[in-house]
Structure 1
Amino acid sequence: MAPMQHPAGTPDSDAAPTTQDPTSQDPTPQAVGRARPDAIHVPVMRDRIIELLAPALREPGSVFVDCTLGLGGHTAALLDACPQARAIGLDRDPDALATAGERLAPYGDRVTRVRAVYDELTDVLADLGVPRIQGVLADLGLSSLQIDARDRGFAYSVDSPLDMRMGQEGPTAADVVNTYAAPQLSRILRRYGEERFADRIARAIVAARESEPFTTSARLVETIAAAIPAAARHTGGHPAKRTFQALRIEVNRELEALEGMLPAALAALAVDGRIAVLAYHSLEDRLVKQSFREASTSSAPRDLPVVPDELLPTFELLTRGAERPSVEETATNPRAASARLRAARRIKESR
């Protein structure tokens, strides 16, 4: 778990547009390091997220947590729409926190930024003395800052260092591909990338690193492509897409963090509080769906004539299934194409 660091200065916010395969986007020529606050994309499904969360943020003193602050886009939109509310923005990436701070500076003390992974939510709220909150937002995709910065190693469309760390601490993607045994690599590619050629790719990586360790993305992309049968290279998108997704998830323990964040976020919400989560691939969306379904389902036996209050669900779903961005939005922002939005509202306290 990344070290938690509290209030990082002023303003913060939500993560910028992302997709299941954001790394296929070509970064801008000078995209190294921090993004400019004035060059930020419109957040994914911004208006729908405001519509879902704003009803819980109308009272003075309302607090919402942006679990994935990113470049601050969603948070800024919510603060504009809900002038009585204040925000707590979490992000493990110091560059994102700094850029969001510049963008959100006009909101002053309405924003508190914290460097933390979102599964540390309970500890963050305790340290800030915030017992209950009225809103939670999590945009689980990569931010534009991470996608477009060549030196971060998320994109397979350009040659860059094999890093992929969101928080800039711990093992890198290069460490994974150069040290994991073939069965371990195969398991990661199959589980996190849903890669059907996982065994072939893992064996190819292990064989290639014997002559020279992997340090940049280009050679890894070549190794992956060569391991995939020729007939399959031209279907299902870029041949390295699933492997890079799997490596990113492994490096940043993304699914573990999500499994920790979801129950913590639901538990932190006050009655009438709302949560919205944007997922970008089936692994994330499955966890969100399961968590929301359990919270919104009665625990009483089906044939019980009268359901005791303590067995009634504590949440209700605000979305019918997973909502998707409009055709118009994906046309102007291709990174939003794979977004899946789910939301829920607390209707009673837990017993």
Structure 2
Amino acid sequence: MHTVRTVVFPALRLLVWIVIAVALVVLAFRGGSGEAAPVSAGAPPVDLTSPVVPVARGTVANTVTAQGTVVADATVPVKATKAGTVRRVLVGDGDVVEEGDAVVEVRWEEEREPVPGTDAEGNPTSTPRAPLVRTATVPASTAGTVTAVDVLVDQVVAVGDRVAGISPGLLSVTATLSQDDQFRLLAPPSTAQVEVQGGSAPFTCTDLTLGAPAAAGSGSGDQTFAGVDPAATGTAQGGTAARCRVPAGTTVFAGMAATVVVDAGVAEDVLVVPVTAVQGSVQQGNVWVVGADGAQEERAVVLGLTDGDQVEVREGLAESDSVLLFVPVPDDTPQGPEMAGPFG
């Protein structure tokens, strides 16, 4: 029994480890079956070329949707139209005024020519005259409620100085536009459809304009929504916003969230291609036309309306043409023997 434990069992364990080692070597160098796996001769090659799509006819609705907010119109400043001294303040905070109503009265003096004459001896004389006192009223620049009177009696003012502020009591809707939206609104309409969350049915918002949004915390009372070129990206001004007037009688309140929908036109039965097929998105672009023999030709086209998925092609293509679905990406791999490595 001692011989079995000390000689036979160790020999068997060694034999088992040898068999396992041989099997692993066979699997590593010859595979599980001992034969190389056959290569399928019928496997299709990978096609990395862009798909081709035909030029088709369709309808393009250029509708831009943006999220916005109901805001109260900024206070309108009343500025002095004459230089002089404030003689009377004719309004106070909280007064309701109409456009053109007198806000303050300004007094100024005009020098007059002296009166010529002669003395008892016949010598010419010049008698000075008292200055001519004139007054004028500064009119309200808009109808609304006076929110601040910025001058006092006997205060000296210059032309353009702010003398009061008037809140028109009107509401507007503003919505920030993305860069793509700005390019789609190069010729915006004068109205937009607005739906206030939790409010009444959608309503037509009038006097639609595009411009720089009001600066946060602006309290100067000056108009901060200055018109800008819609084609500008608006980066320097912190973006571009659409703004329109809430019609009278519409029940909304400042601070409410709103959805603004701008319908900038519809093109029916026109030639269209996917936007991915065009290099460029506004007015001018390039497409790659594929001929019957597969040859590709870069062609300039004139673009029209777009809905974000397809774009109208006004010039440059025919209905029988086919184009690449995606704009080709140039191959930046360096070519030529000078780029060869040290061994080739």
Same fold (TM over 0.5): no
TM-score (norm 1): 0.22
Structure (1/2) with the larger strand percentage: 2
Which structure's CA Rg is the greater one?
2
Structure (1/2) with the larger helix percentage: 1
TM-score (norm 2): 0.22
